[in-house]
Amino acid sequence: MKIDFANLQYQYQLYKKEIDEAVQAVLNKSNYIMGEEITQLEKSLESFTNANHAITCSNGTDALLLAMMALGIKPGDEIITPPFTFIATAETIAFMGAIPVFVDVDERTYNIDPSKIEERITSKTKAIMPVSLFGQPADIDAIQLIADRYNLKVIIDGAQSFGSTYKGKTDSNLGDISTTSFFPAKPLGCYGDGGAIFTNDEELAVKMRQMRTHGQDKRYHHKYIGMGGRLDTIQAAVLNVKLKHYKKDIILRQKVADRYCEELETKDIVLPFIEKFTTSVWAQFSIRVKKRDEVQLYLKEQYIPTAVHYPRPLHLQECFRYLGYKVNDFPVSEIVSKDILSLPMNPYLLDIEINNINQQLLKTQV
Ligand SMILES: Cc1ncc(COP(=O)(O)O)c(C=O)c1O
């Protein structure tokens, strides 16, 4: 039995008729750039998230850049962020010429630990950038409280968490700006690169819309230094179809997570921890196991694909050597990166497949 990690092909087959028609409509109109499908998608994203403004863009990385550009982040500014995340979070901070200032993560949620933020704030700190890792928002209220006290902005890297909630609100509707990614394997993915930015601030929304299109306020009149950061109309057409089914997908993902949790409850496997006041969209179902690499190899031999998110925390990456961090600076991130393991996660995993994964995994624990 060969198990598919994200099973994008199955999803396409499921919605094939609708997706083919939507893409064909774009081809028929040839409205490839900023077609009406983009406006339609942005409206749907606003009603899905309750954020006042949704601005689609080229990918989740550019979404972070646009957010920082709109907030006027300058070289030398410091932005607080966790080291246990995908590279794009801190990479974009550095790309802006700003300085990523790392704060370790909480041992249970793997999200930034708010109790460690304050000691890292300096006169140069301009923003806090929490990540909603694996699909679960960080403790935004605690973060916002600190941000308000020090007059800092909050940019939520929600690349993995579109549709998740924190105290009943989607995490696209929190912070000053929240971003997401529609990378194909994300919970809501398109068929190429894609992303979006959310804000309730009208002024920021106008600025980000303009910056997304080379900073122009009218054609060939450039108010800001911007970028070519638009989402393709074809991707919007795919997302318009998939968004209609997304609530269903989230429920199915939750069911898969529940099945894993029920059967993998052993003293040696650390299961994901979801706070009572948050929901996850399960971008990943990541457990912690001893002898991770051996377990991963064994599962591979049983045709069970797994992944490691992430094997090396960002403060120990070569590209950030100039920041001067060393081993043991962020012990939680370092320990977690050694034994974290993501199991197959998609809405279409069959009971028989989940059973097999669980049984094989439990065999490695005896
Ligand atoms: C936490 C995080 N931030 C940012 C990104 C960047 O998104 P994209 O791949 O769409 O540029 C990703 C995507 O992989 C991510 O997981």
Cα 320–Cα 199–Cα 23 angle in degrees, nearest 5? 90
Same domain, 155 and 270: no
Same domain, 213 and 259: no
Q: Has residue 325 been placed in a domain?
A: yes
- 68: nearest Cα among 53, 88, 87, 48: 88
Position 2 scores a pLDDT of 84
Distance (Å, whole) CA 134 – CA 116: 21
Q: Has residue 334 been placed in a domain?
A: yes
Cα 30–Cα 36–Cα 37 angle in degrees, nearest 5? 90
Nearest atom in ligand 1 to the alpha carbon of residue 181 is 10
Same domain, 206 and 255: no
Ligand 1 pocket test: which of 183, 188, 333 has the largest number of ligand atoms within 8 Å of its C-beta?
183
Nearest atom in ligand 1 to the alpha carbon of residue 182 is 10
Position 366 scores a pLDDT of 77
pTM of the model: 0.98
Same domain, 54 and 171: yes
Q: Has residue 1 been placed in a domain?
A: no
Number of domains the chain is built from? 2
Same domain, 197 and 56: yes
Cβ of 183 less than 6 Å from ligand 1: yes
Q: Has residue 2 been placed in a domain?
A: no
Distance (Å, whole) CA 195 – CA 183: 7
Per the listing, tokens 């689609």 go with 56
Cβ of 160 less than 6 Å from ligand 1: yes
Of 239, 257, 280, the residue that ends a domain is 239
Same domain, 207 and 270: no
Instruction: Give the model confidence (pLDDT) of 136-176 as tens digits.
Output: 999 999 999 999 999 999 999 999 999 999 999 999 999 99
Residue 126: how many other CB atoms lie within 10 Å: 21
Amino acid type, 144: Q
Q: In angstroms, what is the span from residue 187 Cα to ligand 1's centroid?
A: 12
Same domain, 128 and 56: yes
Cβ of 38 less than 6 Å from ligand 1: no
Position 69 scores a pLDDT of 98
Q: In angstroms, what is the span from residue 136 Cα to ligand 1's centroid?
A: 14
Ligand 1 pocket test: which of 171, 180, 181 has the largest number of ligand atoms within 8 Å of its C-beta?
181
Of 181, 207, 239, the residue that ends a domain is 239
Same domain, 217 and 321: no
Cβ of 91 less than 6 Å from ligand 1: no
Q: Has residue 316 been placed in a domain?
A: yes
Distance (Å, whole) CA 85 – CA 335: 14
Distance (Å, whole) CA 34 – CA 178: 22
Position 267 scores a pLDDT of 81
Ligand 1 pocket test: which of 86, 164, 235 has the largest number of ligand atoms within 8 Å of its C-beta?
86
Position 207 scores a pLDDT of 98
Q: What is the DSSP string of 57-111?
A: ES-HHHHHHHHHHHTT--TT-EEEE-SSS-HHHHHHHHHTT-EEEE-PBPTTT-S
Residue 143 C-beta-side C-alpha neighbours within 13 Å: 26
Distance (Å, whole) CA 281 – CA 2: 24
Nearest atom in ligand 1 to the alpha carbon of residue 160 is 16
CATH of residue 345's domain is 3.90.1150.10
CATH of residue 21's domain is 3.40.640.10
Same domain, 251 and 221: no
Q: Has residue 41 been placed in a domain?
A: yes
Cβ of 89 less than 6 Å from ligand 1: yes
Each residue's pLDDT expressed in tens, for the chain with a length of 366 residues: 789 999 999 999 999 999 999 999 999 999 999 999 999 999 999 999 999 999 999 999 999 999 999 999 999 999 999 999 999 999 999 999 999 999 999 999 999 999 999 999 999 999 999 999 999 999 999 999 999 999 999 999 999 999 999 999 999 999 999 999 999 999 999 999 999 999 999 999 999 999 999 999 999 999 999 999 999 999 999 999 999 999 999 999 999 999 999 999 988 899 999 999 999 999 999 999 999 999 999 999 999 999 999 999 999 999 999 999 999 999 999 999 999 999 999 999 999 999 999 999 999 987
Cβ of 61 less than 6 Å from ligand 1: yes
Q: Has residue 114 been placed in a domain?
A: yes
Same domain, 226 and 263: no
Do you know the residue count of the chain?
366
Position 93 scores a pLDDT of 98
Same domain, 305 and 219: no
Distance (Å, whole) CA 59 – CA 86: 14
Q: β-pairing, 153-157 with 78-81?
A: unpaired
Cα 122–Cα 128–Cα 130 angle in degrees, nearest 5? 145
Task: Provide the residue range defining the domain that includes 188.
Answer: 8-239
- 62-84 b/e with 16+ CB inside 10 Å = b? bbbbbbbbbbebeeebbbbbbbb
Same domain, 173 and 260: no
Of 239, 269, 291, the residue that ends a domain is 239
